[in-house]
Structure 1
Amino acid sequence: MFTQEGARPHLNNKSRWLVLACLTLGLSLIVLDETVVNTAFPILTADLGLDAYETEWIDSAYALTFASLLIFFGQLADRYGRKKFFLIGVAVFILASLGVALSDTSTGVILARALQGCGGAMILPTTLAIINTYYHGRDRAIAFTIWGGTIGGVAAVGPMVGAWLITFHSWHWAFAINVPFGLLVMVASYFCIPGSKSRVKRKGLDLTGAILITFALFAVVFAIIEGGRFGFYYQREPFTAGSMTWPTSFPPITLLFLAIGIASFLAFFFVEKSRLKQDKDVTLNFDLFRSRSFSAGNLVAFVVSLGEFGLLFTLPLFLELVGGYDLLQAGVILSAIALGALIAALTGSFVCQLMGAKRTLQLGLALEIIGIAGLGITLTSTSTGWEMAPWLVAYGVGIGYATGQLASIILSGVSGHDSSVAGAFQSTSRQLGAALGTAVLGTTLVIGLGSAAETLEAKGVPTGQAQEISQELQDSGGESISDLATEPGGVDLVQVATGTFTTASKSVAWVVVVAISAGLLVSFWIPKNAAREKQAG
């Protein structure tokens, strides 16, 4: 199935595309689940009678385990086998998805979602490592472009798939669909993907380092996710975990978690340096950062992820609350992003061969900026899907070019035996950026919705009522707009609310533009010929 060419393993012509198909299907499993789940949240919450805190933890449980375990599982995959961990990850993800689908309590759903995060943390870095190991020359450019296009395309199609499942079946199927899909991935991957692992053998498994980095990432991501709820300047409300309560009279618990996370990172750094000097196994080899492709690429990944998928955070809400589209119609409109990602997948190899990985990355980021800025300029409360489509297509092409080539650049400066952990670190950089970005974008939207009070007062609405309506808009993330129609003067109230939501959405778009523009500037630090050698074969 595969041959050795020099020191580098190569797949034969037939198997290389079967392997890539398996990897992208595995990647699709976790990307599709995340976007489908977001669509299912409102109905799941109502069906199980969950409060706001329980609903938040259904999402947070996945994000915390996924982000905190990426590097640990990446290290184990390099040591014990990437195919093995890919298959285990898919199996865990299937079982966890079935667990969510069959759960009828908040505790069951939250625990199963945490287990899904474990499975996802095994799948994602191994897909990158296998591509980095077996694909060279022109095939490498094609493989990474398809990998990046899969993320953008599937993320865009997810809301439509979720809406269809919920509309014609139930929220349970938003999770149960992963079972047959995952089994298909497992069977195909078992027969098609060759085994690979690091050939470098060091003494002892680095359990201390693994525990420290996992705990550090958990603490930092927890602080970022929960900062909006509990605050960073003062403790906004009590934090309860089991029988323990952290009262509002104490300093913010988020700062405690941040401090613990930073201390754990420092301890991890010194432990890894010490073990490396003794030629012992390490969880993360800090020598990787000597490669400018790796260090600069990860910085770009972090900065860009602050806003890259921010459009998918606010646009579905805009389409439903302001545009009046139902879930399925909104999903169809967002599929324009998938069309752009498909265009990128079909043209990415040619563009990369012509321009090189760095310039293709920069072209992709520029197209993302153009797409989002176009929406920021032209978006109105009467905008139609057709008017948004060109900007969404440009955004999708940009994601396809940028995401795949950034991964290629980061891994180009990494030796084969560190591929999984390097891919895991890239994914961790993205997860940290995305978590922080979601918090920033959510705050931007809420602040924008708060301006409704001033507009309502200018239209003669009593101050008390105006402030109450504005607060409801902020607390509900805009979902209270539909309730305003039943109040006296409802038409005018809805008009103000939709106008305010539109303005807030445009503000979110410009924050995203700033974040991606910053990533574009940082990308100039990447070496000119990054990934060119591996793409040259």
Structure 2
Amino acid sequence: MSTTEPTQPATSTGPTVPTTDRRRWIGLVGISLAVALIIADSTIVNVAVPYIVRDLSLTSTEVQWVQESYTLVFAATLLIWGALADRYGRRRILLIGVVVFMAASMVAAVAATGPLLIGARVLQGVGGAMILPTSLSLINSTFTGRDRGIAFAVWGSTIGGMAAVGPLLGGWLTTAFSWRWAFGINLPVGLLIIALVLLFVPESRSPQTTGVDWVSALLTTVGFGLLAFGLIEGRQYGWWTSVKPLTIDGWTWESTLSPIPVAFAVSALALVVFVIRAYRRTRAGRSSLIDPGLFGITSFRNGNIAALIVSLGEFGIILSLPIWLQNVLGCTALQTGFVLLGLAVGSFAASGLSVGLPAKIGAVGVVRIGIVAEIIGIAGVGLVVSPTTGWAPLVGLLFVYGFGVGLATAQLTGVVLADVPVARSGEGSGIQSTSRQIGSALGIAVLGTVLFVSAGNSLSTELTDQGVPAAATDQLVNAVVDSAGSAIPALAADPATAAAADAAKQAFSQGTSYSAYVAAAFLVIGLIATLSLRNRWPQDGPTPDPAVAAS
């Protein structure tokens, strides 16, 4: 079976929509808004969490699950929905995802208890996982050549921009109205998306009529879900020995062995079985969730490796900067959002340059320029961070960083999918999205560990040098680190602990710098990884989906 050409043309199901040039671009607005919906929501909630805790009296365990349940379900099911979209219709799966996301958002907006809110977040993760890979496959099947590069640039800039706009929107909605509007805003936006997609985005799918391999779907859900859980929660529960109990609905993990290595072991077993099963079913001519032959496509295989590595450092700064801005510089949630807006502006600005630049230097050339800009921006942030840093240099550096994100994210996506047969674009998009999501989870785990461990060590050393007794030093360090720095303002307000607060501010600034440098190092490795990629030009790529081209 060839890995570079579709074995049979993709066909449409149901009524198709005329795809004149203008209508295609209006359809892209709807697709981009769908992506913006899921990206912004994940960052909005981070800003709203303190208000949610106050209103619903959440326990510390419930707070963690409000934040992480969405990410875990999202990462665990991406691959499934990408493959199902090829079989049952890409537009159909995207629309179902938007409806699920809207319904879950309404439940979250009216939730009166922590468990109900967590359940709503799980459903949001399902909806988000349906939207992201199908948005990619719809772009891949609708646009070709130079237009495809522009469309992916818009898609990538939307992701980078909304990652920064989310905290601003969340801060405004939460402080001006209520945290419930951070979820409620998804209803009108979702209705607009549905209208645009129904009117301007054509349906397409693969002619494949074989059934779904549900055993493989279960294996990938368990494998990627537990992998994401281990990467995100390793610092909380201990990488080998338990440092705090894991409690789920009254059940508690009581072993001295941390649940994290167990999660990694089960994840590895599930994914190994999944890969073996996929090879065997493919060779036997039976349906499989993924076609291992896709990894025989050089651009797809190497592009996914590069995307995973780049994702390790790409959005890590979004983790540490809000903590530092609010707890060290004393910014409000809304002010933090305004500072991060520099990233969004840079990302959107990159989409304009992406129109003509690939034609001159190729898609991989644009990716490399973008990664270099990211390295400069994030390393610069590490250099300027201090307890007395002003907002102006940060905004400028975040603009450079966001500009790089806007260039690199979209064009790298285009390179990964460039040689994937359109009939398998949902499957390919699901794999690509999963690579990025796992890379992001690993980056957050590593950068979070660097931030809090270095901040804790620095604070402990400073307090010891000040002559603070060991017991008091441990108590202060634990209070500051366990609260992610939110204890610093209270320490600063008490004259008896003002000196400790100053030391904590310096320590968190140092930790933020170190995490920025590590993110920059990941991006340098990602830049090296792109050397294995063949440069792409706008006219390159597979034949468009006949269902779209004929409509």
TM-score of the pair, normalised by structure 2: 0.93
Deviation at 1:346, TM superposition (A): 0.9
Deviates more, 1:266-275 or 1:239-248: 239-248
Which residue in 2 is equivalent to 1:212? 219
Displacement of 1:243 in angstroms is: 5.9
Counterpart in the other structure of 1:38 = 46
* Partner residue, 1:354: 360
SS in 1 for 2:290: coil
SS in 2 for 1:438: helix
Residue 454 to residue 180, structure 1, CA distance change in 2 (3 Å): same
In 2, the alpha carbon distance for the partners of 1:96 and 1:488 equals: 46
Aligned partner of residue 306 in structure 1, secondary structure: helix
Which residue does 1:371 correspond to in 2?
377
Q: How does 1:51-450 map to 2 (within 5 A)?
A: 51-201=59-209, 203-242=210-249, 244-249=251-256, 251-450=257-456
What is the rounded CA distance, in whole Å, between the counterparts of 2:226 and 2:378 in structure 1?
Answer: 32
Following superposition, the deviation at residue 264 of structure 1 comes to 1.1
Matched residues in 1 for 2:486 and 2:243: separation?
23
Please name the residue that 2:27 is paired with: 19
CA distance in 1, matches of 2:213, 2:471: 60
State the partner residue of 1:458: 465
Change (3 A) 1:34 1:123: same
Distance 1:536 1:374 in 2: 42
Q: What's the CA shift for 1:527? A: 1.8
Aligned residue identity for 2:180: H
C-alpha displacement of 1:408: 0.4
Identity of matched residues, %: 37
SS in 2 for 1:11: coil
Compared CA separation, residues 475 and 411, structure 1 to 2 (3 A):
same
Tell me the amino acid that sits aligned with residue 410 of structure 2: G
Distance in 2 of aligned mates of 1:54 and 1:487: 30
Residue 535 to residue 139, structure 1, CA distance change in 2 (3 Å) = farther
Q: Deviation string for 1:50-109 (max 9, x for gaps)?
A: 121111111221111111111111111100000100100000000000111111111101
Query: Relative to 1, partners in 2 of residues 1:475 and 1:241: Cα closer, same or farther, differing over 3 Å?
Result: closer
Q: Distance in 2 between matches of 1:82 and 1:535?
A: 18
1:237–1:315: structure 2 CA closer, same or farther, 3 Å change rule?
closer
* Normalised TM-score (structure 1): 0.95
In 2, Cα distance between equivalents of 1:46 and 1:243: 22
Shift, 1:395, TM fit? 0.4
Describe the shift of the 1:437–1:528 C-alpha distance in structure 2 as closer, same or farther (beyond 3 A): same
Q: Which residue pairs with 2:485 in the alignment?
A: 478
Structure 1 residue 319, shift from structure 2 partner: 1.4
Contact 2:9 2:206 in 1 (8 A): no
3-state SS of paired residue (2:493) = coil
Equivalent residue of 1:496, what SS? helix
8 Å contact 2:85–2:205 — kept in the other structure? yes
Q: Deviations over 1:499-535 (max 9, x none)?
A: 1111111011011011111111111111234776139
- Amino acid in structure 2 at the alignment position of 1:361: V
Provide the rounded CA distance (Å) in 2 between the counterparts of 1:230 and 1:181.
Answer: 37
Instruction: Quickly say closer, same or farther: Cα 1:491–1:257, change in 2 above 3 A.
Output: closer
Contact 1:481 1:494 in 2 (8 A): yes
Report the residue type matching 2:540 in the other structure: E
Task: Give the superposed CA RMSD.
Answer: 1.9
- SS in structure 1 opposite 2:386? coil
Paired residue for 1:3?
A: none
SS at match of 2:541: helix
Superposed displacement of residue 242, structure 1: 4.5
Is the contact made by 2:30 and 2:197 (CA closer than 8 Å) also made in structure 1? yes
Q: Aligned with 1:534: secondary structure?
A: coil
Point out where structure 2 has 5 or more consecutive residues left out of the alignment: 1-7, 12-17, 545-551
Q: Secondary structure at the match of 1:325?
A: coil
Q: Note the alpha carbon deviations across 1:364-419, whole angstroms, 9 max, x for none.
A: 11100000011111222111111212211100110000100111011112101111
Instruction: Please state whether the residue corresponding to 1:533 is helix, strand or coil.
Output: coil
Letter of the structure 1 residue corresponding to residue 277 of structure 2: V
Contact 1:152 1:400 in 2 (8 A): yes
**Contact 1:137–1:535, Cα closer than 8 Å, also in 2:** no
- CA pair 132-45 structure 1, distance change in 2 beyond 3 A: same
Q: Distance in 2 between matches of 1:337 and 1:163?
A: 16
Q: Is the CA contact 2:106–2:183 (under 8 Å) kept in the aligned structure 1? A: yes
Residue type at the aligned position of 2:71: A
93-102 or 432-441, which deviates more: 432-441
Amino acid at match of 1:212: L
Residues 1:517 and 2:517 are matched in the alignment = no
CA contact (8 A) 1:36 1:174 kept: yes
What amino acid does structure 1 have at the position aligned with 2:442? L
Measured in 2, the distance between the counterparts of 1:334 and 1:218 equals 29
The structure 1 segments of at least 4 consecutive aligned residues displaced by more than 6 Å after TM superposition are: 6-10
Per-residue deviation, 1:490: 3.9
Q: Where does residue 29 of structure 1 map in the other structure? A: 37
The secondary structure found in structure 1 opposite 2:329 is: coil
The separation in 1 between residues aligned to 2:542 and 2:153, in whole angstroms, is 12
Deviates further, 291-300 or 523-532? 523-532
Shift of 1:160: 0.6
Equivalent pair of 1:82/1:420 in contact (CA under 8 Å): yes
SS in 2 for 1:435: helix
Paired residues of 1:54 and 1:106 also in contact (CA < 8 A):
yes
TM-aligned CA distance change 1:241 to 1:315, over 3 Å: closer
Q: Against the structure 1 CA distance between its residues 442 and 69, is the aligned structure 2 distance closer, same or farther, given a 3 Å change threshold?
A: same
Higher mean C-alpha deviation, range 233-242 or range 326-335:
233-242
Tell me the alpha carbon deviations over residues 333-359 of structure 1, each in whole angstroms, 9 at most, x when there is no partner: 110111101210111121111111111
Contact 2:421 2:542 in 1 (8 A): no
Alignment partner, residue 497 of structure 1: 504
The structural deviation recorded for 1:27 is 0.5
Distance 1:395 1:535, change over 3 A: farther
